[in-house]
Amino acid sequence: MNLSNNEKYNSKTVFVRRHGRSLNTERTEALGELLPLLEINHDLITINADINPIDLFDKKNKEIWMEIGFGNGEHVKAMLERHPDHGYIAVEPFVNGMAAFFKSIKDTDLKNVRVWMDDAVDVVKSLQDASLDGMYILNSDPWPKTKHHKRRIVRPETLNHYSRVLKDNALLIMSTDVDELAEWMAISSQNHPDFEWCAEKSDDWKTMPDDWFQTRYEIKGIKAGRKQSYLYFIRKCR
């Protein structure tokens, strides 16, 4: 069975609003099996800053991180493998990416993750103040047209929300292979009063960190001649 636009999966009246190619049987089954188990309850998304992310998980985690726009979930899976004592809130609005991620973890014990398949900012607005240990925004949509810059996931108003939910000294880690977007994110974050750039020299943000995990998307871009930028910002103490 393939999942096409406006079709329901797993015999449930659940409709996904952001589609790509139709899903194959394996991905459809993984989506139907794991989404009900790992998705954040929609009733909790109140945008009233009242969710303690600790309560989203079955066990207490040493740290809780969030990744916004995880693509096919390669980075989330790698972090779950590296840090099994951490909890991850992973957001991806596209059903194809979510299904690919679920397929990759279906037969593993890497279930210490909660997902959201819609607007990430709604989740952020629902989290309590100073409740996250870190945040990843990796290779986000550049929205290159000027009239679409208001849709970028990193902009002054969204940085206000990120700074509110990040703990003191928590990291906001961003990457992109689009030079103009790298400049946009760097300037926007540097100009925000709550964030401090960790770079000490210009090469710091052009050089891959030692513990960096490369996704297939990033490797493909580098092979095509695109240069990746790595932007680390720290949330200043309140």
Phi, psi of 100 (to 5 degrees): -65, -40
The one catalytic residue in 50, 85, 129, 141 is: 141
CB of 228 within 8 A of CB of 208? yes
Q: What is the DSSP code string of 169-197?
A: EEEEEEEES-HHHHHHHHHHHHHSTTEEE
Residues in the chain: 238
Q: CA–CA separation, 66 vs 126, rounded Å?
A: 13
141 is catalytic: yes
CA distances 107 to 30, 31, 114, Å, are 10, 13, 17
Phi, psi of 155 (to 5 degrees): -160, 170
* List of residues 6+ apart from 114 with CB closer than 8 A: 38, 39, 40, 56, 57, 87, 88, 89, 90
Reading the block at residue 164, the tokens are 């509110």
Q: List the catalytic residues.
A: 141
